[in-house]
Structure 1
């Protein structure tokens, strides 16, 4: 079953390769969508794919790459969206 989630990650998540690492994780797990920096220093992601792979990605987002410090992850399921790839904005 395919699912889509809009994820808002707070903490030290900009300038620590969070988006690039998220893209790498997404590619490894067949997930499409995007990751983009927000003006408040947080990162927003749309992750779309198979439910099992999306759950793996959601768990990874709770810790992020080694240089990041994730303080809070807000996860909201949204209507399924199809994307060709995972982009960084």
Structure 2
């Protein structure tokens, strides 16, 4: 299982970004969460098979929300991320 944390910035709050990210995660069988940050960015933790995580990353970079736009993207692998049973939009 691949475990990643990413932070995305741009037009990612108030446009359904977290909800659409959850829909993609559910489609791919990825668990974790998406959370708004005070600086206007969104933090995402995701756990799943490597090929599914790679596809998830591509879809998030392209903005899962039709009204969203990702301008900045940071990602790191973190093996200490806790595995959960589902993906939630906080």
Unaligned runs of 5+ in 1: none
Structure 1 stretches of 4+ moved >2 Å: none
Question: For the aligned residues, what is the CA RMSD?
Answer: 0.8
1:9-88 alignment, distance < 5 Å: 9-64=8-63, 65-79=65-79, 81-88=82-89
Hey, what's the Cα distance between the residues in 1 that align with 2:4 and 2:58? 13
Q: How many equivalent pairs are there?
A: 88
Where 2:18 maps in the other structure, the secondary structure is helix
Hey, what's the Cα distance between the residues in 2 that align with 1:69 and 1:83? 28
* Greater Cα shift, 78-87 or 55-64: 78-87
Unaligned runs of 5+ in 2: none
Hey, what's the Cα distance between the residues in 1 that align with 2:72 and 2:60? 10
TM-score between both structures, scaled by the size of structure 2: 0.94
TM-score between both structures, scaled by the size of structure 1: 0.95
